[in-house]
Amino acid sequence: MHRAVSMIRSNGNRKGCFMAGQAFRFGVNLTTVAHADAWRSTCRSAERMGYDVIQVPDHLGLPAPFPALVAAAEATERARVGTLVLNAGFWNPTLLARDVATTDVLTGGRLELGLGTGYVAAEHEAAGLPYGSAGARVDHLTHTVTELTRLLGSSEHRPAPVQHPRVPLLIGGNGNRMLDLAARHADIVAFTGARAAPGSSTGQLIGLSAEELDSRVAAYRGLAAPHGRKQELNLLVQTVAITDDRRSALRGMQHRFPHLTEDELLELPILLVGTVHQIADQLRAQRERYGFSYLTVLEPAMAAMASVIEELRGE
């Protein structure tokens, strides 16, 4: 079985091979753009540390995704670039198809497109865009995926993307409708390990317990089984802390997860806390339990995670 990486080179003269595999891949979600030189330096550092994918989210107040990814690709040699994730509610599908195709061309076929419904009502209000119910947001995302598939799969679309049969698609979410959409259409299924706090308009999240995440992954597998597709599973990690005293470090984080006990925190997949060897073993165990082989960390954890990447490289 092929490893889950693209066979496209920067000159774009090869077709993509993007099949799910069990070897680890690592991404870092970058959010800080002080000036152009600093951004390029950060991206080069990520590549040197062994990250396979440089990613950006899609929030107001943070860098615009597509220009940032083009600059990231220009600054690096092998790393893929991706969105984790675009807020579909910000985008018209036809205009998005143009931006996706252009970015795929300008990055030499290194783009991974991540899509989600959006979960921060205040951002929609600030942008003058409707937020809608959860069902309406899933409806819009479904329409967006359908239209992107149609437009970018057409030989008549201009500009034409480099990757064929399409740019690899990541869909992130926890609800059953989102998991069903991902099971039917995505190359990569992304789990946040958290859910939106009820009534929050600012995007506050509540961490899922290990058992709750078991339930979500089981739901996905049930929905995916009839389709028989090979898909890669991604997890967005919230914290990486290298320490000899796991329990002491986790006690300092417990205020963020008041609904979980200390023992439950030890099992929480989105917290990687311990020695390099302990974290590596935790990720191996989570790959066995859940199927997560593609791990994304946030920018503040980029350096800490580098030693774990070195420990796991090639596994």
Q: Tell me: pLDDT of 260 over 80.
A: yes
- Residue 116's pLDDT is what? 96
- Residue 200's pLDDT is what? 63
- Residue 234's pLDDT is what? 98
- Residue 197's pLDDT is what? 67
Which amino acid, 19?
Answer: M
The answer for residues whose C-beta is within 8 angstroms of residue 34's C-beta and 6 or more apart is: none
Q: Please provide the average confidence, as pLDDT, over all residues in the chain.
A: 90
Domain-embedded: residue 253: no
- Residue 195's pLDDT is what? 74
- Residue 255's pLDDT is what? 85
Q: Which domain holds residue 171?
A: 25-237+276-307
In the chain, what percentage of residues exceed pLDDT 70?
91
Give 19's pLDDT tier (boundaries 50, 70, 90).
very low
Output the DSSP codes for the chain. ---SS----TT--S-------SS-EEEEE----SSHHHHHHHHHHHHHTT-SEEEE---TTS--HHHHHHHHHHH-SS-EEEES-EEGGG--HHHHHHHHHHHHHHTTS-EEEEEE----HHHHHHHT-----HHHHHHHHHHHHHHHHHHHT-TT-SSPPSSSS---EEEE--SHHHHHHHHHH-SEEEE-SEEEPTT-SS--EEEPPHHHHHHHHHHHHHHHGGGT---EEEEEE-EEEE-S-HHHHHHTTGGG-TTS-HHHHHT-TTEEEE-HHHHHHHHHHHHHHT-EEEEEEEGGGHHHHHHHHHHHTT-
- Residue 22's pLDDT is what? 84
- Residue 256's pLDDT is what? 84
**131-171 pLDDT tens trace:** 999 999 999 999 999 999 999 999 999 999 999 999 999 99
Q: Tell me: pLDDT of 20 over 80.
A: no
Q: How many domains does the chain have?
A: 1
Q: Tell me: pLDDT of 203 over 70.
A: no
Domain-embedded: residue 231: yes
Highest mean pLDDT among 127-136, 206-215, 256-265: 127-136
**40-82 pLDDT tens trace:** 999 999 999 999 999 999 999 999 999 999 999 999 999 999 9
Domain-embedded: residue 197: yes
Q: Tell me: pLDDT of 1 over 70.
A: no
Q: Tell me: pLDDT of 208 over 50.
A: yes
How far apart CA 119 and CA 202 sit, in angstroms, is 8
pLDDT: which is higher, 256 or 30: 30
Give 5's pLDDT tier (boundaries 50, 70, 90).
very low
Domain-embedded: residue 90: yes
Q: Tell me: pLDDT of 6 over 70.
A: no
**102-117 pLDDT tens trace:** 999 999 999 999 999 9
Domain-embedded: residue 37: yes
Domain-embedded: residue 1: no
Contact 21, 48 (CB under 8 A): no
CATH of the domain at 280: 3.20.20.30
Domain-embedded: residue 15: no
pLDDT mean over 271-297: 97
